[in-house]
Amino acid sequence: MKTWIHTHWRAILLNTLGLAALLAVTRLPRASQFSGVSEPMVAAGIWAARFLLITLAITPLNTVFGWRSLLRLRRTAGLWTFAFAALHFGYYVWDSKASWLQTPIPNTAAAIGLAALLILTALAVTSTNAAQRRMGKWWTRLHKLVYAAGVLGLVHGLLETGNKFVAMNQPESANEIWLYLGLLAALLAVRIPPLRRYMAGLRHRRTPAAPAAGEVA
């Protein structure tokens, strides 16, 4: 048991965060809403953005600090992102009732959000080991779209901070999304090959190779 917890504590922490957030979101009052936009609907969108950032931060954290054990958590973090995005969309469609069917894409911000959700759905559906084996190099190509989902999801979130309900009930969300856009820019920058090599070089300088037998440290 002790060894199991020792090996899986990061996954336990991530899933506990996901479950706690899910509980917090679904307990928010849904009564007050404006054209399908309610407190839990917006909160689910914000949690989708947070988990998207966690997902995108895992590879750079390994590059900069060498935390390889985190790489196994990318799929779990990605699935939490999809779960919150789907919940966000589900609340919206359910609460807007027939009006969503009449105008499924009311504006550019909505179109951008739908594009992000479509990408996240494709990534979630193909997240299994079997899909990875079957798709070969196409799997890697498809999963690179997670960066596009990050940009689209956050740009959509930023545009939606102008929505009447969001501006009145969660005005602080605009600052939060700006902060996330800044973090996203930094996470994308670390992936540029020369910068990635530089960061990896810094890590190797911090942790020099162990001296060979007989060598003075």
* Residues within the interface to ligand HEM (CB under 6 A): 35, 37, 42, 45-46, 48-49, 52, 85, 88-89, 92, 104-107, 109-110, 113-114, 116-117, 120, 153, 156-157, 160-161, 163, 166, 173, 177
The residue (of 51 and 70) whose beta carbon lies closer to ligand HEM is 51
Residue 49 CA to residue 181 CA, distance in Å, equals 10
**Structure tokens of 102?**
């009449």
- Residue pair 51/74 in contact (Cβ under 8 Å)? The answer is no
Nearer to ligand HEM, 33 or 63 (CB): 33
Half-sphere exposure of 170 (CA within 13 A, CB side): 25
Residue 114 or 200: the one with the smaller Cβ distance to ligand HEM is 114
For ligand HEM, the closer of residues 45 and 60 by Cβ is: 45
Rounded-to-integer distance, Cα 170 and Cα 60, Å: 31
Specify the residue, 49 or 73, whose C-beta has the smaller distance to ligand HEM. Answer: 49
**C-alpha closest to that of 177 among 192, 164, 166, 165:** 166
Instruction: Please state the closest distance from residue 91 (CB atom) to ligand HEM, in A.
Output: 9
- In the bound state with ligand HEM, the residue whose beta carbon lies nearer, of 107 and 175, is 107
CB of 45 to ligand HEM, least distance (A): 3
Q: How far is the CB of 185 from ligand HEM (least distance, A)?
A: 16
* Closer to ligand HEM by Cβ: residue 75 or 196: 75
Q: For residue 195, give Cα distances in angstroms to 132, 205, 208.
A: 29, 15, 20
- Closest distance to ligand HEM from the beta carbon of 9 (Å): 27
Q: Which pairs count as long-range contacts for 199-206, CB under 8 Å and 24+ apart, including other chains? A: 199/60, 199/63, 199/64, 200/63, 200/64, 202/64, 203/63, 203/64, 203/65, 203/66
The nearest distance, CB 34 to ligand HEM, in angstroms, is: 9
The two tokens of residue 28 are 């928010």
In angstroms, give the least distance from the CB of 95 to ligand HEM. Answer: 10
Q: Quick one: DSSP state of residue 31?
A: S
Are 66 and 207 within 8 A, CB to CB?
yes
Q: Residue 106 CB, nearest distance to ligand HEM (Å)?
A: 5
